[in-house]
């Protein structure tokens, strides 16, 4: 079974980059050292697990996605989603997005399906962001959600 | 009939946040349409107090879409502050990275952002008028388009060591030379890249031929044109002098980029955070001009690479002896530039100096201020820094590409709204044309923040007293 953990967000905009912190936490829990910087070379493969971080989802991600069995997308969400930690199953389906440069996970899966005639099983785990200032440090309430969000992801791969 | 206001927020498939408001009068005709840029970044302010050598690392964070342009413009401003012009090999390598940025950005825009409108039609069902619909309709072409963008990204990553926020250009040069195997790797993608761009050129020319009525009534208006050129007025994207021509195509000015403040000023409107640059001598709005692919090709007499130059001749033949004013020809101009950038990659890789390790000028002659200008994919990008004797930044002025085009984008939105919306029954396809008027300029309003579910499109119809009459959501 090949797993991809794909975090995305703008690390320079505080909680928008929560996926980076979550990706590092998942790597630690799986006993792999996280890289020092989000800008370091990705993806990083360790056995059946591959870890990746992107500023945003882009069309060219659709191709490599086809080589995985399971994909966990990680992102931030704002107050319009009630849950602090939101988990949803992602199916390949085009979703209108106001800005194509931040394609949705479903859209990338959909592109993958058209390219490869199949798409991996996928989930999206998103964490509530509270502040979006120009800093790389998470707000306290968002930082407190990292550990339980990692629990959710580790439960999914069991 | 009650007068109405229609709001499209945000405009889709551009880089950042914007809102379009269309005011209908009592007869249901468009009175005026506005493009509002409703975000404020404040980057100039929080760069104050940082060291000049940090600026090429800080300023790319302005945008996740064209960080290379900010990186290089910032390094050029740093060169000027340190009084350390880069050795020729360093300039070649910077230019190589810049060409990678032009290819990936122009390729992405044409095939993935504008492509759905052009290939599937403005009036196509929005459920399929998108990149996935495009892929389903043209799977081979879309795979080629994805690979074109990937080639540009790989040039950037090869030089910068990272896919985003490169650490490469430093004041006085660059910090990494090119290896022979890296040259071969980049060259291996050249033929496919050129072939894909040529397919794009055939598409846009065929589309233009079949849609001449749209081309000739979609946001056609006179302006000046502004951009870098070489001493013989050939297209320049990395260096050179700034040339400004008038609406009649005659040269108004040609000047060193560091003197830009002598020639341009910025007008402010209370309904937008984005300023409106204009040519001082003609005032506002008489002195407004356009930048980016359409501005640059109108401004250039020739292109230094053969295939792109042949295309430029065809472009110039559209309106012989005068500038091409049609907004939809931005797409054609963009692909001609993309072809130039790809060809220029090969030229740069064939230059005997490209492997040189003489890549950093360490002899400094500090200056109190420095200007770095580059042609970003979207247009002329100006970084101007003032620093103290230690190189600590005291003041920053940034004029971003999209700013230069601000008036033109507003005019295009107004023109298209008035042309296509003729009554209160506003169909989605018509609204998409209004958005396409903005998208043609490929604006970068630099948000780079995107949380799940944050950005649905809402169109609000309001009466003159701002009472909500109707809401249309597209999510």
Question: Is the Cβ of A136 closer than 8 Å to some Cβ of chain B?
Answer: no
- Cβ contact, residue pair A56, B450, below 8 Å: yes
Contacts with A42 from chain B: Cβ below 8 Å: 163
Contacts with B143 from chain A: Cβ below 8 Å: 115
* Nearest in space to B347 (alpha carbons), one of B306, B311, B313: B306
- Other C-beta atoms within 10 Å of B278: how many? 24
Nearest C-alpha of chain B: how many angstroms from A127? 9
- Cβ contact, residue pair B12, A98, below 8 Å: yes
**Tokens 């926020």 belong to which residue?**
B165
Vertex A68 angle, CA A65 and A71, to 5°: 75
Stretch A57-81: mean pLDDT, rounded? 89
Q: Which pair of tokens denotes residue B180?
A: 């022979």
Q: Check whether A11 has a pLDDT greater than 90.
A: no
Question: What residues are paired with B449 via a beta bridge?
Answer: none
Per-residue pLDDT at B14? 39
* Nearest in space to A130 (alpha carbons), one of A18, A54, A20: A18
| Domains in chain A with CATH codes | 3-157 (3.40.50.1450)
Contacts with A101 from chain B: Cβ below 8 Å: 15, 65, 108
Global pTM?
0.85
Q: Are B200 and B338 in contact (CB under 8 A)?
A: yes
- Cβ contact, residue pair B474, A55, below 8 Å: no
Q: Which residue has the higher pLDDT, B42 or A60?
A: A60
Which of B59, B111, B452, B475 to mutate to probe the A interface, most A CBs <10 Å?
A: B452
Contacts with B108 from chain A: Cβ below 8 Å: 59, 101
Q: Which pair of tokens denotes residue B473?
A: 């959501």
* Nearest in space to B153 (alpha carbons), one of B79, B68, B227, B232: B68
pLDDT band of A153, cuts 50, 70, 90: very high
Which of A100, A103, A127 to mutate to probe the B interface, most B CBs <10 Å?
A: A100
Nearest C-alpha of chain B: how many angstroms from A11? 9
Q: Are B381 and B373 in contact (CB under 8 A)?
A: yes
Q: Which pair of tokens denotes residue A129?
A: 């962001």
Q: Are B395 and B387 in contact (CB under 8 A)?
A: no
Phi first, then psi, for residue A93 (nearest 5°) are -160, 130
- What's the CA gap between B357 and B90, in Å, rounded? 9
First-to-final CA distance of chain A = 12
User: Nearest-CA residue of chain B relative to A96?
Assistant: B475
User: Nearest-CA residue of chain A relative to B113?
Assistant: A100
Distances from the Cα of B341 to the Cα of A58, B95, B309, B346, B426, angstroms: 22, 10, 12, 9, 40
Question: Is the Cβ of A92 closer than 8 Å to some Cβ of chain B?
Answer: no
User: Nearest-CA residue of chain B relative to A81?
Assistant: B453
Nearest C-alpha of chain B: how many angstroms from A88? 12
What percent of chain A has a predicted confidence (pLDDT) above 90? 55
DSSP B403-440: HHTHHHHHHHHHHHHHHH--SS---HHHHHHHHHHHHT
Compute the 3-state secondary structure of chain B and give helix, strand, coil in percent, each to the nearest 5.
45, 20, 35
User: Nearest-CA residue of chain A relative to B114?
Assistant: A100
- Cβ contact, residue pair B450, A81, below 8 Å: no
* Residues making up chain A, counted from first to last: 158
Ordered per-residue pLDDT tens for chain B, 475 residues: 445 555 555 444 334 456 677 777 777 777 777 776 645 456 787 789 999 999 998 887 766 567 899 999 999 999 999 999 999 999 999 999 999 999 999 998 888 777 777 777 777 666 666 666 766 777 788 789 889 999 998 999 899 877 667 789 999 999 999 999 999 999 999 999 999 999 999 989 988 998 899 899 999 999 999 999 999 999 999 999 999 999 999 999 999 999 999 999 989 887 777 788 999 999 999 999 999 999 999 999 999 999 999 999 999 999 999 999 999 999 999 999 999 999 999 999 999 999 999 999 999 999 999 999 999 999 999 999 999 999 999 999 988 888 899 899 889 988 988 888 776 666 766 777 877 888 888 876 544 344 454 433 344 555 566 655 555 444 3
Strands, E, within A12-139: which ranges?
A: 44-46, 49-54, 70-77, 85-90, 121-128
DSSP B43-62: HHHHTTTSBGGGHHHHGGGG
Of A41, A102, A115, the CB nearest to B450: A102
**Tokens 């290896």 belong to which residue?**
B179
Nearest C-alpha of chain B: how many angstroms from A106? 11
* Nearest in space to B61 (alpha carbons), one of B82, B39, B42, B80: B42
Asked if the ipTM is above 0.95, the reply is no
- Other C-beta atoms within 10 Å of B274: how many? 25
User: Nearest-CA residue of chain B relative to A13?
Assistant: B449
Q: Which pair of tokens denotes residue B212?
A: 């001449």
- What's the CA gap between B81 and B56, in Å, rounded? 13
Per-residue pLDDT at B3? 55
Question: Is the Cβ of A76 closer than 8 Å to some Cβ of chain B?
Answer: yes
Nearest C-alpha of chain A: how many angstroms from B229? 30
Nearest C-alpha of chain A: how many angstroms from B317? 34
Distances from the Cα of B90 to the Cα of A83, B160, B329, B381, angstroms: 51, 13, 34, 20
First-to-final CA distance of chain B = 29
**DSSP code at position B412:** H
Residue A44's SS3 state is strand
Burial of A1 (0-12, 13-18, 19+ CB in 10 A): exposed
- Cβ contact, residue pair B131, A107, below 8 Å: yes
- What's the CA gap between B387 and B104, in Å, rounded? 34
Residues 6+ apart with CB under 8 A from B430: B420, B421
Of A59, A63, A75, the CB nearest to B131: A59
- What's the CA gap between A26 and A32, in Å, rounded? 9
């Amino acid at each position: 079974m090949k797993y991809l953990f794909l975090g995305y967000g703008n690390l320079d905009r505080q909680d928008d980059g929560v996926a980076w912190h979550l990706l590092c936490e998942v790597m630690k829990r799986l006993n792999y050292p996280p890289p020092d910087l989000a800008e370091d070379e990705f993806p990083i493969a360790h056995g059946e697990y591959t870890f990746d971080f992107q500023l945003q989802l882009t069309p060219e991600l659709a191709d490599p996605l086809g080589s995985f069995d399971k994909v966990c997308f990680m992102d931030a969400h704002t107050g319009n989603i009630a849950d602090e930690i939101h988990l949803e199953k992602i199916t390949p389906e085009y979703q209108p997005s106001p800005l194509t440069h931040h394609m949705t996970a479903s859209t990338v899966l959909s592109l993958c399906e058209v390219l490869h005639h199949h798409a991996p099983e996928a989930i999206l785990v998103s964490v509530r962001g509270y502040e979006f200032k120009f800093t790389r440090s998470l707000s306290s309430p968002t930082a407190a959600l990292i550990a339980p969000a990692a629990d959710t992801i580790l439960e999914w791969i069991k | 009939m009650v007068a109405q206001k229609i709001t499209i927020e945000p405009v889709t498939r551009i880089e950042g946040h914007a809102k379009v408001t269309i005011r209908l009068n009592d007869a249901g005709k468009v009175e005026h349409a506005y493009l509002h840029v409703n975000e404020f970044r404040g980057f100039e302010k929080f760069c104050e107090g940082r060291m000049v050598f940090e600026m090429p690392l800080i300023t790319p964070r302005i945008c996740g879409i064209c960080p290379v342009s900010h990186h290089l413009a910032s390094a050029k401003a740093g060169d000027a502050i340190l009084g350390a012009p880069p050795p020729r090999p360093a300039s070649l390598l910077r230019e190589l990275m810049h060409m990678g940025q032009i290819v990936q950005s122009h390729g992405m825009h044409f095939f993935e952002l504008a492509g759905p409108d052009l290939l599937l039609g403005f009036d196509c069902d929005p459920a399929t008028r998108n990149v996935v619909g495009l892929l389903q309709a043209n799977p081979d072409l879309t795979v080629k388009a994805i690979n074109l963008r990937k080639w540009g990204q790989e040039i950037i990553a090869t030089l910068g060591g990272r896919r985003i926020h490169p650490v490469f250009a430093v004041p006085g040069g660059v910090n990494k030379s090119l290896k022979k195997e890296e040259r071969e790797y980049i060259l291996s993608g050249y033929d496919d890249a050129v072939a894909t761009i040529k397919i794009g050129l055939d598409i846009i020319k065929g589309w233009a031929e079949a849609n001449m009525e749209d081309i000739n009534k979609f946001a056609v208006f006179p302006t000046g044109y502004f951009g870098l050129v070489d001493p013989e007025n050939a297209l320049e994207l990395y260096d050179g002098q700034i040339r400004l021509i008038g609406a009649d195509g005659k040269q108004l000015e040609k000047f060193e980029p560091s003197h830009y403040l002598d020639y341009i000023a910025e007008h402010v409107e209370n309904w937008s955070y984005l300023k409106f640059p204009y040519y001082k001598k003609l005032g506002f709005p008489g002195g407004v001009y356009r930048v980016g692919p359409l501005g640059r090709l109108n401004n250039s007499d020739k292109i230094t690479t053969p295939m792109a130059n042949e295309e430029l001749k065809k472009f110039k033949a559209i309106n012989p002896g005068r500038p091409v004013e049609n907004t939809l020809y931005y797409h054609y101009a963009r692909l001609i530039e993309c072809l130039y950038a790809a060809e220029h990659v090969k030229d740069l890789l064939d230059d005997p100096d490209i492997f040189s390790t003489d890549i950093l000028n360490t002899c400094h002659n500090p200056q109190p201020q420095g200007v770095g200008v580059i042609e970003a994919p979207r247009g002329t990008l100006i970084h101007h820094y003032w620093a103290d004797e230690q190189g600590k930044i005291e003041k920053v002025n940034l004029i971003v590409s999209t700013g230069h085009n601000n008036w033109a984008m507003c005019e295009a939105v107004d023109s298209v709204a008035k042309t296509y919306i003729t009554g209160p029954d506003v169909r989605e396809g018509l609204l998409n044309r209004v958005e396409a008027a903005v998208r043609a300029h490929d604006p970068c309003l630099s948000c780079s923040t995107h949380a799940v579910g944050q950005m649905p499109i809402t169109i609000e119809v309001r009466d003159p007293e701002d009472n909500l009459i109707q809401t249309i959501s597209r999510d």
